[in-house]
Structure 1
Amino acid sequence: MPIVRVLAISGSLRAASLNSALLRAVVCLAPADIRVELYTGLNSLPLFNPDIEITDASPVADFHARLLEADGVIIASPEYAHGVTGVMKNALDWMVGSEAFVGKPVALLNASPRATIAQASLKETLTVMSAQVVEAASITLPIIGSHLDEHGIIADPSITTAIREALRAFRMEIVNCKA
């Protein structure tokens, strides 16, 4: 079976981010036929300016290239004031005029069952960008308030099972899209 390449993006810059911990756990739990790379460059992206080309800002060009190389994208982003985080929206704004998300399978992970408005907004933005949001791989996990770090997430059987099932569904969708 071919290896599927997935870019994982956290919409939080916090050092103790639950979303980042969740994605680090995903990296560890991914089966051998899925290679998950955690993208850590959102903090280096300049503020979106439509007068600047993607290729004119090296951090943006790098982000764009990584998205193009990936077979799929996993996004975990918190909700702030009923919205998508500024860094996540900024990153997506840079990609709106490009082909980076066109037809790209995307899984949305949510570390908080309360964060429904931002999740819906993120899904809408990605849909407008022609991404293929994979519902079977998009899951909400009860991590907020659990005091779990990435090791605790990996040690929790119910969370681990949900992540592995989501990854299997995501891989199946990616392979079907490429066929």
Structure 2
Amino acid sequence: MAPINLLALSGSLRSTSYNTAAIEALKALAPPHITIQIGSINELPLFNPDLDELAIPALVNLRDAIKRSDGLIIASPEYAHGVSGPMKNALDWLVSSFEFPYKPIMLINTSPRASHAQASLVEILTTMSGVIVDQAYTSIPLLGSDLDANGILEDGELVRALKDGLDAFYLAITSIERTD
């Protein structure tokens, strides 16, 4: 199996984030040919196009991680029917980035009722020329569960959903690469 490198981003800054827990569980489930790096968006300053030319360490690191990745995994909560502020801020910083366009993207939703933010996220990512892999979309019901990554890994249904999404994402990425 061809090795791939993925970058996973959580749109939540909470220490007990379901989105971060889902990404951590997915990383633990990844087979040896899939490397998942968990990136950070919490050090990014508020988006200001005037600062785009500066070497902001958090932004340089994020863009470099995206450049090295074969695809992105994004898990973001819904706040007031919208994408979380930290995720939107990170995406705004990436709008003028050469690293982001045409990256395959897997979306993870940890709250089945968070459909507004998911639709908004799809619109934003598509506008930015990201390639949403619909077959990899994974929705797992964590809201109110108090599960962390270890708890997710102990639930067979959640594990199966995450593995199925990752398998579909891997197939989509390797299919794209074979046709290039």
Contact 2:26 2:162 in 1 (8 A): yes
Aligned residue-pair number: 178
Kept in 1: contact 2:25–2:149 (CA 8 A): yes
Partner of 2:125: 126
* Structure-2 change in CA distance of 1:175 and 1:157 (3 Å): same
| Aligned pairs (5 A) from 1:61-140 | 61-140=60-139
Instruction: Give the TM-score, by structure 2 length.
Output: 0.96
Give the 3-state SS of the residue equivalent to 2:167 in structure 1: helix
Q: Corresponding residue for 2:32?
A: 32
Show CA shifts across 1:127-171 (max 9, x none): 001111001111111111122111110010011011111111000
Within a 5 Å distance, the mapping from 1:35-50 to structure 2 comes to: 35-39=35-39, 41-50=40-49
User: What amino acid sits opposite 1:130 in the alignment?
Assistant: S
1:54 positional shift = 4.9
Displaced runs of 4 or more, over 4 A: none
* Alpha-carbon separation, structure 2, partners of 1:107 and 1:91: 17
The aligned residue for residue 15 of structure 1 is: 15
Letter of the 2:13 counterpart? L
Q: Distance between the aligned counterparts of 2:25 and 2:53, measured in 1? A: 31
Superposition deviation, residue 56 in structure 1: 2.5
Q: CA deviation at 1:100?
A: 2.2
Single out whichever of 46-55 and 7-16 deviates more from structure 2: 46-55
| Aligned equivalents of 1:149, 1:53: Cα separation in 2 | 36
Q: CA RMSD in A?
A: 1.0
Maintained 8 Å contact 1:105/1:174: yes
Q: Could you list the per-position Cα deviations for residues 77-120 of structure 1 after superposition, in whole angstroms to 9, with x for gaps in the alignment?
A: 00001111111000000000112221100000000001110111
| TM-score (normalizing by structure 1) | 0.96
How far has the Cα of 1:55 moved from its partner?
Answer: 4.8
Structure 2 residue runs of 5 or longer lacking an equivalent are none
Give secondary structure in 2 for the equivalent of 1:162.
Answer: helix
The Cα of 1:53 is off from its aligned counterpart by 2.3
The alpha-carbon distance between structure 1 residues 55 and 71, as it changes in their structure 2 partners (threshold 3 A), is farther
| Distance in structure 2 (CA, Å) of the matches to 1:36 and 1:43 | 18
| Whole-angstrom CA distance in 2 between matches of 1:30 and 1:55 | 35
